[in-house]
């Protein structure tokens, strides 16, 4: 290693793992509650692990095939990095989810006596995922860098992480939304039974889905975001060695400081007698402040360049603005949600039309903000080739808060599940509204995470693009030649076109798989209500396993083709049309993802909250025609906001990482 300072990365990683162990111990020592709660919980654990087992088997087979391919064409360094990246990603998601499915029932049980205790259990259960991701990623990259001593050999780690993430997010997303839609459409809409009612045959599949989708899926997503960006920033560090010899390890150090700040922030939760909302905000503020401070100090000491700090700060501010925009378009009291709710009075079609209009409008400001940050961070670092390090720094600025963001995100599905378990176990009256309030907090943190992922995706795309230019030899600081990708060349133009259409095809496949699976769940739930006598009156039990089977089978089937699309397309274009066309493809697909993802995520969020806005008593409330119209919008939004949207962020990174890994092969193309 070029400097002992970098040791802070593995050290902070180990400390975080110790905290993880403590949190796991803390969660497991809590009581599970009644016999019925134990039973419901065991269904969920069983379903979730059965899915993960089958999902992981599929991923492992594909990963091994790819690893062999990589070994033969690119050498053992990249192959090892690849396996390491995929394995650590899956491990982090596995640990995180297994703690989550145990924290949910314990949180529900605790809610019978203390809302604060319920919050603490759920939050620490979620923090296991958050800390696991960041620490395993930092440890993995540090170890590989220690042995390989060249960040370009570690790029396979990011590829492995991205591959695992896309499978995890896509499979989990299809699973959770198909189950959710199926449960709601027949249960809530047709049979008029409450959410999470144990009579609903799809209710267990729905609960399992929350864990394999929102929890394990999102975890793998953030693992790859975090890893890809550190690796790319390190590679760019080689380039910008004139910023100080520590430019390569700077990303590792900055993120390690972020991790320590996150640990401190997470540990404050439960230390003060505050409401969940306030203690969450306090933790976020402490972590944010410490991150910024650490970033400032490491910039000064490692790079001796204050402008890099300003660039990082601009990244942080951008993620904040994008978060506010997302809150405007999806917030419960805001204009778009109110207008969509009002449109529901004129039927579901107008609800959807007005929703689409707001959704399509929503990428506008985030795009301007991302454009602004690119320009600002580029110019403040002096422009020219060196200016690009500023863009990388802006990305690192956003990333330093990954741990706390992820911890608060994983908390969402835990309380959501806890509420469901309380309903199914018949303890809802003892729990009161405490879990519902936590669920509302969970929805807010979920929205923050999605906006955060959006901001990340935009800036990382630029960083990865620059790394690509570096790997194909177009970006060479020592020569001082500004790299050129000439978009007037027909092959680059074609790359741009084909790249641009890929995210549409990907979304089509993801949404289609969810819709078709939901279709089957609807049929199965209708069948059980029709054929099982006494089901609706509560005298007979539904066959939960059937719905779990349908979602498991279809989610696994649905995740393969779209994931392969991300790997095959860049390889094909690279081979056929060369590195410049591939650069065009990278830009084209990034562009479409930057527009489609916020569109999908915001429109879905707005429809969801328009429905909630009516449910809390506006415009007639539940049970009216207006409410029924809003439910249609909410259902349409499900696969958009929870399957296609978040998966697109991984899709774009997997395409990019595939290009990075295989780029050396394309230096001579057919045309």
> Which residues 546-605 are close enough to bind a copy of itself by CB under 8 A?
583-584, 587-588, 591-592, 594-595, 599
Exactly one of 109, 402, 467, 514 binds a copy of itself (CB under 8 A); which one? Answer: 514
Supply the minimum distance, in Å, between the C-beta of residue 48 and a copy of itself: 25
Length of the chain: 671
Bridge partners (DSSP) of residue 481 are 476
Q: Which is nearer to a copy of itself, 160 or 500 (CB)?
A: 500
> Cβ of residue 504: shortest distance to a copy of itself, in angstroms?
5
* Contacting residue, 244, 347, 545, 664, with a copy of itself by CB under 8 A: 347
Nearest to 535 by CA among 208, 210, 203: 203
Number of residues that bind a copy of itself (CB under 8 A): 79
Candidates 658, 339, 317; CA nearest to 499 is 658
| Structure tokens given for 486 | 């000439």
> Tokens 């170890």 — which residue?
143
CB 9 within 8 A of CB 255: yes
Taking the least distance from each CB to a copy of itself, the nearer of 423 and 491 is 491
What residues between 354 and 413 interact with a copy of itself by CB under 8 A? 354, 356-361, 363-364, 367-368, 370-371, 374-375, 378, 387, 391
Residues 262-291 interacting with a copy of itself (rule: CB under 8 A)? none
Residues in 478-507 at the binding interface with a copy of itself, rule: CB under 8 A: 482-494, 496-498, 500-501, 504-505, 507
Does residue number 205 form part of the binding site for a copy of itself (CB under 8 A)? Answer: no
Give min distance, CB of 301 to a copy of itself, in A.
28
Q: How near is the Cβ of 185 to a copy of itself at its closest, in Å?
A: 6
Distance CA 410, CA 449 (A): 10
Q: What are phi and psi of 426, to 5 degrees?
A: 70, 20
How crowded is residue 147: how many other Cβ atoms within 10 Å of its Cβ?
Answer: 11
Query: At its nearest, how many Å lie between a copy of itself and the CB of residue 463?
Result: 12
Task: State both tokens at 292.
Answer: 């910024």
Report whether 514 contacts 173 (CB < 8 A).
Answer: yes
The token duo for 47 is 């379903």
* DSSP at 484: -
State the Rg of the chain over Cα: 24
Rounded CA separation 496/29 (Å) = 55
Taking CB under 8 A as the rule, which mask of x and - marks residues 159-178 in contact with a copy of itself? --------------------
Structure tokens at 247: 């430019």
Query: Site residues for a copy of itself, window 630-659 (CB under 8 A)?
Result: 631-632, 635-636, 639-640
Find the DSSP H helices in 240-305: 250-268, 276-298
Q: Least distance from C-beta 441 to a copy of itself, angstroms?
A: 28
- Restricting to residues 208-227, name those near a copy of itself by CB under 8 A: none
- CB of 321 or CB of 410, closer to a copy of itself: 321
For the CB of residue 519, give the shortest distance to a copy of itself in the complex, in Å.
6
425-464: contacts with a copy of itself (CB under 8 A): 462
Q: In a 3-state reduction of DSSP, which class is residue 476?
A: strand
Q: Give least dist CB 189 to a copy of itself, A.
A: 7
Give the shortest CB-555-to-a copy of itself separation in angstroms.
16
- Which residue in this structure is represented by tokens 């378009």? 329
**Which residue from 648, 621, 383 is spatially nearest to 511, judged by alpha carbons?**
648
């Amino acid at each position: 290693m070029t400097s002992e300072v970098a040791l802070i990365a593995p050290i902070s990683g180990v400390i975080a793992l110790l905290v993880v162990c403590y949190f796991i111990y803390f969660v497991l020592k809590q009581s599970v509650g009644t016999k019925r709660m134990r039973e419901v919980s065991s269904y969920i654990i069983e379903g979730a692990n059965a899915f993960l087992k089958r999902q992981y088997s599929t991923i492992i087979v594909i990963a091994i095939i790819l690893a062999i391919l990589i070994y033969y064409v690119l050498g053992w360094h990249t192959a090892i990095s690849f396996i390491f990246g995929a394995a650590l990603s899956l491990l982090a998601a596995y640990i995180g989810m297994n703690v989550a499915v145990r924290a949910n029932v314990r949180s529900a049980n605790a809610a019978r006596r203390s809302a604060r205790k319920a919050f603490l259990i759920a939050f620490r259960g979620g923090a296991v995922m958050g800390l696991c991701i960041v620490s395993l990623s930092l440890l993995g990259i540090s170890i590989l860098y220690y042995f390989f001593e060249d960040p370009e050999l570690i790029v396979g780690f990011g590829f492995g992480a991205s591959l695992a993430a896309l499978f995890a997010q896509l499979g989990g997303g299809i699973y959770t939304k198909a189950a959710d839609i199926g449960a709601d459409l027949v249960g809530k809409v047709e049979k008029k039974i409450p959410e999470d009612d144990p009579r609903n045959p799809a209710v267990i599949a729905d609960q399992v889905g929350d864990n394999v989708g929102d929890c394990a899926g999102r975890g793998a997503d953030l693992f790859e975001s975090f890893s890809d960006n550190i690796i790319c920033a390190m590679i760019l560090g080689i380039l910008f060695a004139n910023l100080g010899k520590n430019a390569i390890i700077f990303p590792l150090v900055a993120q390690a400081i972020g991790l320590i700040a996150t640990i401190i922030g997470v540990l404050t939760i439960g230390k003060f007698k505050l409401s969940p909302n306030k203690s969450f905000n306090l933790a976020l503020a402490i972590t944010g402040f410490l991150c910024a401070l650490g970033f400032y100090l490491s910039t000064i000491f490692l790079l001796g360049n204050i402008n890099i700090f300003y660039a990082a700060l601009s990244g942080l501010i951008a993620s904040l603005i994008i978060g506010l925009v997302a809150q405007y378009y999806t917030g419960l009291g805001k204009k778009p949600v109110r207008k969509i709710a009002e449109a529901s009075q004129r039927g579901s079609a107008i609800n959807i039309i007005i929703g689409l209009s707001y959704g399509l409008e929503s990428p506008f400001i985030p795009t301007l903000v991302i454009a602004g940050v690119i320009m600002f961070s580029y110019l403040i670092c002096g422009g020219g080739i060196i200016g690009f390090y500023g863009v990388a720094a802006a990305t690192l600025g956003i990333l330093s808060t990954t741990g706390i963001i992820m911890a608060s995100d994983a908390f969402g599905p835990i309380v959501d599940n806890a509420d469901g378990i309380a309903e199914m176990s018949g303890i809802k009256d003892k729990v009161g509204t405490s879990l519902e309030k936590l669920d509302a907090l969970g929805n807010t943190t979920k929205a923050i995470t999605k906006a955060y992922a959006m901001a990340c995706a935009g800036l990382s795309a630029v960083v990865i693009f620059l790394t690509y230019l570096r790997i194909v030899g177009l970006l060479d600081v020592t020569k001082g030649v500004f790299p050129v990708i000439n978009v007037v060349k027909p092959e680059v133009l074609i790359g741009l076109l084909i790249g641009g259409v890929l995210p549409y095809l990907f979304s089509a496949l993801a949404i289609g798989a969810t819709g078709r699976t939901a279709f089957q769940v609807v049929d199965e739930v209708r069948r059980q209500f029709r054929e099982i006598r006494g089901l609706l009156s509560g005298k007979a039990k539904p066959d939960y396993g059937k719905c779990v089977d349908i979602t498991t089978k279809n989610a696994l089937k649905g995740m393969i083709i779209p994931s392969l699309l991300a790997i095959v397309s860049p390889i094909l274009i690279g081979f056929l049309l060369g590195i410049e066309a591939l650069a065009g493809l990278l830009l084209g697909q990034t562009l479409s993802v930057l527009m489609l993802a916020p569109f999908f995520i915001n429109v879905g969020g707005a429809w969801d909250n328009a429905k909630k806005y009516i449910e809390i008593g506006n415009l007639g409330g539940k049970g009216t025609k207006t409410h029924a119209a809003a439910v249609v919008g909410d259902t349409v939004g499900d696969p958009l906001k929870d399957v296609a949207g978040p998966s697109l962020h991984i899709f774009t990174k997997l395409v990019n990482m595939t290009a990075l890994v295989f780029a050396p092969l394309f230096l001579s193309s057919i045309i």
